[in-house]
Amino acid sequence: MTAESLAGYRAKRRPGRTPEPIPDDTATPKARSKKPIFVIQEHHASSLHWDFRLEHDGVLASWALPKGLPTSPDANHLAVQVEDHPLAYGTFSGTIPKGEYGAGTVSIWDRGRYDCEKWRSREIMVVLHGRRAKGRYVLFPTKGKNWMIHRMDPAPEGFVPLPTRMQPMLATAGQLPPDDGAWAYEFKWDGMRVLIWIDGGRPRAVSRNGTDITASFPELRAFGEAMGSRQALFDGELVVLGPDGKPSFARLQHRMHANAPGKVRTAAASDPVSLVIFDLLHLDGVSLIGLDYDHRRKALEDLRIGAPGWAITPSFTSDGGIRVLEAAVDLGMEGVVAKRRTSTYQAGRRSRDWIKVKNQHTQEVVIGGFTEGNGSRRGEFGALLLGIPSTEPRKLTFVGKVGTGFSDRSRAELASDLKRMVRATSPFADSLPAALDKAARWVTPKLVGEVGFSEWTPDGHLRHPVWRGLRADKAVKDVRREV
């Protein structure tokens, strides 16, 4: 190779402005060593990626891997070819200043020697001998500068692929279990349940009803980058903290219903979410759902993750449940969840191994209709008619009406939605009071909301309900009366 092989590298860098090694433009690359080196550098630039470099003809032939090396032969990863780098770059780590090419932090993820089995224009096959990167890989071009990298060896023994789909384990409403040492207690957060996949430093967030909500919560990108090359699946909750530091479900409402990119940016600036993590289900090729709570909790805590935007919820095993519940009340939390310490993670199931105990009465409800508003509410609605799924298919059981707790904004938005859902027939299986039945306008029962209330009446209605907000993360089929 001649000095020209590094011309592209030098053209993109300014001596004195970046700490990267910049060889003299007259320097000729060094001859290839007997056993060439490879290096993989984790690069937190505008987009997290891993730079894969192979010593060849006196330089480091280089590719950017957005998701890093594949662990299994079942999935190829993109490899974008970039300019050759000097051999001195093989030991570089540091921060490239803002405004320079590749600005961001570079660290060495792994390095070592490799065996070259093939080096052709359309196929490069190597065997890596690193501390973290081991085995046979092949690079092959596709279109333009894009290549793919494929692992030819089997996945490491015991490797379990990260599942692509999963439903969260659900708690059963009830009373505190006995303080017999068999339970761990966590605070119940007033937020939005979410499963978070991390792969290649990129998050994917899915709500309880299976909707991908990643684009609605750009704050999660920082959490994904902080996890680096680790592959994981977390269970947690998204919350918006108010000025008092307590979770605000009302402020979370704005985030749950912002979908357009412009609205998402505005909502994220005014009401940023925090991620509260309470379970770890998969980590680096190992499934944890078959382990008991204590082992999953230890694996989660061993990650030592925590930052202003995310944290692991506290777990109490020595304090009795009543003391934790009292602390939850003092802190303004929604309640506690008691988790049996010997229980495994039962994906998609509502289990008595998790018991939720609230310090206030709340109930998820389905909107089945509304009454017209009067006076200043003309053109909107007066009250919502509420139900929970009946034993009769596609029908609701009437549980009451709610007309308080709405902000002007939420009332106007909800009125607009309801008018598009009006239908001629009642979705309720039972008969409503005559006066209410006459004033009602029926809607297709597909919107789930939540109310606070004082108690259930003997005839099964909500006493003094107050609207808390829509639950876009909940499906109608999952709504049930909480005891």
First CA to last CA across the chain, in angstroms? Answer: 76
- Which residues neighbour 420 within 8 Å (Cβ) at sequence distance 6 or greater? none
The reply to whether 161 falls in a domain is: no
Q: Following DSSP, what letter does each residue of 31-80 receive, concatenated?
A: PPPSS-EEEEEEEESSSEEEEEEEEETTEEEEEEETT-S-SSTT--EEEE
pLDDT digits (tens, 9 = 90+) for 385-418: 999 999 888 899 999 999 999 988 888 889 989 9
Q: With H, G, I as helix, E, B as strand and everything else as coil, classify residue 412.
A: helix
Residue listed under structure tokens 């093939």: 118
Per residue in 98-139, pLDDT tens? 999 999 999 999 999 999 999 999 999 999 999 999 999 999
Distance, CA of 272 to CA of 476 (rounded, Å): 27
E strand or H helix at 117: strand 104-120
- Taking the whole predicted model, whether its pTM rises above 0.75 is answered as yes
pLDDT digits over 353-374, tens only?
Answer: 999 998 888 999 999 999 987 7
Question: Would strands 273-283 and 310-312 be described as parallel, antiparallel, or unpaired?
Answer: parallel
Say if 162 falls within a structural domain: no
Q: What is the pLDDT of residues 227-284, one digit of tens each?
A: 999 999 999 999 999 888 888 888 898 888 888 899 999 999 999 999 999 999 999 9
Any catalytic annotation for residue 356? no
Q: Which domain holds residue 11?
A: 3-151
Taking residue 213's Cβ as centre, other Cβ atoms within 10 Å add up to 20
Pick from 151, 182, 214: which residue ends a domain?
151
Same domain, 346 and 246: yes
Upper half-sphere CA count for residue 241 (Cβ side, 13 Å): 11
The predicted pLDDT at position 1 comes to: 45
User: pLDDT digit string (tens) for 189-241?
Assistant: 989 999 999 999 999 999 998 999 999 999 999 999 999 999 999 999 999 99
| 185 and 319 share one domain | yes
CATH code where residue 213 lies: 3.30.470.30
On whether residue 379 sits in a domain, the answer given is yes
- Secondary structure of residue 19 in the 3-state scheme: coil
The domain boundary residue, chosen from 310, 330, 358: 358
- CA angle, residues 228, 230, 233, in degrees to nearest 5: 120
Gap between the Cα atoms of 107 and 49, Å rounded: 11
pLDDT for 173 beyond 70: yes
Q: Please, what's the b/e burial string for 11-38 (b: 16 or more CB within 10 A of its CB; e: otherwise)?
A: eeeeeeebebebbeeeeebeeeeeebbb
Q: Tell me: do 111 and 187 sit in the same domain.
A: no
Distance between CA 8 and CA 84 in Å, rounded?
8
- The helix or strand, by DSSP H or E, that contains position 299, with its residue range, turns out to be helix 293-302
Instruction: Name the domain count of the chain.
Output: 3
Question: In angstroms, rounded to a whole number, what is the distance separating the alpha carbons of residues 64 and 43?
Answer: 9
Q: At what angle do helices 249-256 and 261-270 cross, to 10 degrees?
A: 160
pLDDT of the residue at 32: 56
Q: What is the DSSP letter of 431?
A: P
For residue 33, the model assigns a pLDDT of 57
Condensed to tens digits (0 to 9), the pLDDT of residues 13-42 reads 999 899 999 987 765 656 555 789 999 999
**384 and 470 housed in the same domain:** yes
Interatomic CA distance for residues 445 and 447, integer angstroms: 6
Cβ atoms within 10 Å, residue 431: 10
SS3 of 159, please? coil
Least trusted range by pLDDT, from 25-29, 89-93, 100-104, 468-472: 25-29
Kindly report each contact of residues 407-414 with a partner whose C-beta sits within 8 Å and lies 24 or more positions away, as own/partner. Answer: 407/250, 410/253, 410/467, 410/469, 410/470, 411/377, 411/380, 411/381, 412/380, 413/257, 414/381, 414/384, 414/470
What length does the chain have? 483
293 neighbors 354 (Cβ within 8 angstroms): no
Let me know if residue 483 belongs to a domain.
no
Residue 187 resides in a domain = yes
Handedness of CA 108, 114, 119, 125 (dihedral sign): negative
Mean pLDDT of 322-345: 94
Residue 160 lies in a domain: no
CA dist 232 and 198 (Å) reads 5
- Is 194 in the same domain as 332? yes
Is 163 a domain residue?
A: no
Choose, from 188, 339, 358, 474, the residue flagged as catalytic: 188
* 409-462 pLDDT tens trace: 888 889 989 999 999 999 999 988 888 888 899 999 999 999 999 889 999 999
Examine the domain organization and report whether 353 and 367 are in the same domain.
no
**Overall average pLDDT of the 48-55 stretch:** 98
Handedness of CA 273, 274, 277, 280 (dihedral sign): positive
Provide the phi-psi class of 19: left if phi over 0, else alpha when psi is between -120 and 50, else beta.
Answer: alpha
Same-domain check for residues 322 and 195: yes
Residue 321's alpha-carbon distances to 57, 257, 331, 339, in angstroms, are 67, 35, 15, 11
In a domain, 303, yes or no: yes
Residue 41 pairs in a beta bridge with: 51, 108
311 and 373 belong to one structural domain: no
Domain CATH for 430: 2.40.50.140
- Is there a single domain that holds both residue 224 and residue 373? no
| pLDDT for the residue numbered 228 | 94
Place of tokens 């300019």: 83
CA nearest neighbour of 135 among 112, 109, 158: 112
Are residues 354 and 383 part of one domain?
Answer: no
Same domain, 367 and 297: no
Q: Which of 358, 392, 413 is the last residue of a domain?
A: 358
Q: How far apart are CA 248 and CA 263, in angstroms?
A: 19
In this structure, the answer to whether residues 349 and 381 fall within a common structural domain is no
